[in-house]
Amino acid sequence: MDLVCYVHPSWKPRLRPAEATRQWMTDTPESFAYRCLPLNIANAHGWELLSPCSFDATWTGGRSTADFVLRIDGKPSHPPVLIFGQGILTFNIEGLFRTPPGWNLWVGGSPNHLKDGIGALTGVVETDWSPYTFTMNWRFTRAGHIVHFDEGEPISFIFPIQRAYLEQVEPHIVPMEANPELVEQFQTWSRSRDEFQKKVARTPPGAPADKWQKHYYQGADMKGGTAAGH
């Protein structure tokens, strides 16, 4: 499947496959946060649009577009702008994305990429037909706080999602005992994990990789099988 972006002649987007790394994860002791495979997968589950410039932004607390202080390094051709007020900072995405019929584009902030004082807003765009551009928006969470973006820092995270797929899904809450085989594997894993943690507490391993079991990370169930497609 192709994801195409028809760019305005003056716009030179910085687009890259999303990276699995996050600085805060790297900074955890022994970078233990990377042991969480779901975090790693989510981090890299799309593509990132990057900031064209470095800048500082402050919201003074009002609802007007005048209630901001924006200091931009240099003179980039497509800096962030103030369109909506309401504590919202905007990046213009001056291209028309195209997905195959029946596919939308999820547009938001990079997963697990946290910024103090501001949060990315999320939208789902019907990019299989729309001839209109969209914007990427961030909303300040408190007034008077200077928020800094580096040039090349992710400002938007995108990936295609199938339209109307959720309407086909019906959640069900079922007692655990309804699936005895699953319960057996869970209980086996729980006992194994308790024993492993006691062993690590008694005799701490020297290598960081030996401090956790890795069943899920390796796609291994408690019967010695391996998950297909893991």
Question: DSSP letters along 27-85, please?
Answer: TSGGGGGGG-HHHHHHHTSSEEEE-SS-EEEEE-S-SSTTSEEEEESS--SS--B--S-
> What pLDDT does residue 95 have?
96
Which tens digit of pLDDT belongs to each residue from 148-194?
999 999 999 999 999 999 999 999 999 999 999 999 999 999 999 99
Q: 21 and 126 share a domain?
A: yes
Question: What residue type is 111 in one-letter code?
Answer: P
Same domain, 26 and 124: yes
Cα 189 to Cα 61: distance, rounded to the nearest angstrom: 51
Residue 104: the pLDDT is 98
For residue 110, is it within any domain?
A: yes
Say whether both 152 and 181 belong to one domain.
Answer: no
For residue 28, what pLDDT is reported? 97
Q: Indicate if 85 and 182 belong to the same structural domain.
A: no
Nearest to 137 by CA among 112, 117, 120, 114: 120
- Please count the structural domains in the chain: 2
CATH number at 34 reads: 2.70.40.10
| 230 within a domain of the structure (yes/no) | no
The answer to whether residue 214 is domain-embedded is yes
Query: 155 and 181: one domain?
Result: no
* Eight-state DSSP code of residue 124: E
Residues 80 and 177 in one domain: no
φ, ψ (nearest 5 deg) of residue 21: -85, 150
Residue 156 structural domain = 4-168
Spatial distance between the Cα atoms of 120 and 136, rounded to a whole number of angstroms: 8
State whether 19 and 116 are in the same domain. yes
Q: What is the pLDDT of residue 77?
A: 87
Q: Are strands 15-17 and 47-50 parallel, antiparallel or unpaired?
A: antiparallel
pLDDT less than 50: residues of the chain: none
The confidence score (pLDDT) of residue 142 equals 97
Q: Are residues 125 and 210 in the same domain?
A: no
Residues 132 and 196 in one domain: no
In a domain, 178, yes or no: yes
Q: Which helix (H) or strand (E) holds 89?
A: strand 88-93
pLDDT at 55: 98
Same domain? 152 vs 47: yes
* Whole-number pLDDT of residue 208: 86
Count of CA atoms in the C-beta half-sphere (13 A) of 100: 4
Same domain, 14 and 123: yes
Do 158 and 184 share a domain, yes or no?
A: no
